[in-house]
Amino acid sequence: MSLLSIRNLHASIGDKEILKGVNLEINLGEVHSIMGPNGNGKSTLAGIIAGNTKYTVTEGEVIYKGKNILDMPVDVRACEGIFLGFQYPVEIPGVSITNFMRTAVNEQRKYRGLDPLSGAEFLKLMNEKKAIVEMTTNLANRSVNEGFSGGEKKKNEIFQMAMLDPTLAILDETDSGLDIDALRIVATGVNKLRRPDNATIVITHYQRLLDYIVPDFVHVLYEGRIVKTGPKELALELETRGYEWIKEELEQKA
């Protein structure tokens, strides 16, 4: 049984249909990359898996760990092990990262029937996970994402992913706005978290990130459908040839 199975997913915002029949199967231990031009539904797909209610699913199903999760609230999905790394992480003045993460970790532990972490345990965990993304910032007095540079925000997303240890992580354009050092650090972080008992979806429209995070599968999402799936070499081909030839292939088929 696959970890995530998306079947004939149609979704819209308001009157605008964005996803027009997406099919996708993801198994434990796999890294999938979803590529495609801007405005073709990549972030919509990520948002729907995570539970963003601003999208309306009009048809199809999303089966995660054998359950249709479309009616499950976003926080319950997170407790079930789904993590979304945001393309634009939200600034939350007045909420410290420490408090935010301690609450998240302990609410997830509670959901799984585990005791909350003690202060000392939590600090130890936080220091371990900060190291994964080479985070040197003192998080004590900093509000979530407030005043962070683009790179710090993305590192903070991967730090949160490390803290929460999800089964399925979806990274939405984590590479956008990163300089080459930050890109390396973020990618290294993701690789360190890769295990046979979890899976990752990397959404990007540059090949660059995939120099560091090597996917098992590359999918092209175009006009609301996954129109092509291939091995990691597909990403390279997209980088050199662009998306035009895929459009042409599609037209020929039609």
Residues that bind another protein (CB under 8 A): 50-52, 73-75, 78-79, 83-84, 86, 89-90, 92-96, 98-104, 107-108, 111, 115-120, 123, 140, 143, 160, 164
Q: What are phi and psi of 168, to 5 degrees?
A: -125, 115
| Partners of residue 32 on adjacent β-strands | 201, 217
User: Which is nearer to another protein, 75 or 181 (by Cβ)?
Assistant: 75
Best CA proximity match to 188, nearest among 232, 137, 134: 134
Class of residue 1 by CB neighbours under 10 A (exposed 0-12, middle 13-18, buried 19+): exposed
Rg (CA), the chain: 18
Closest separation between CB of residue 185 and another protein, Å?
21
User: Which is nearer to another protein, 18 or 126 (by Cβ)?
Assistant: 126
Closest separation between CB of residue 190 and another protein, Å?
18
Chain position carrying tokens 């699913």: 57
User: Which is nearer to another protein, 54 or 253 (by Cβ)?
Assistant: 54
User: Which is nearer to another protein, 23 or 106 (by Cβ)?
Assistant: 106
Closest separation between CB of residue 254 and another protein, Å?
38
Enter the tokens of residue 134: 């080479």
Closest separation between CB of residue 170 and another protein, Å?
10
User: Which is nearer to another protein, 90 or 180 (by Cβ)?
Assistant: 90
- CA distances 144 to 38, 97, 230, Å, are 27, 5, 38
CA–CA separation, 56 and 28 (whole Å): 28
Closest separation between CB of residue 8 and another protein, Å?
25
Angle between helices 119-132 and 180-193 (to 10 degrees): 120
CA–CA separation, 68 and 61 (whole Å): 6
User: Which is nearer to another protein, 27 or 137 (by Cβ)?
Assistant: 137
Closest separation between CB of residue 165 and another protein, Å?
11
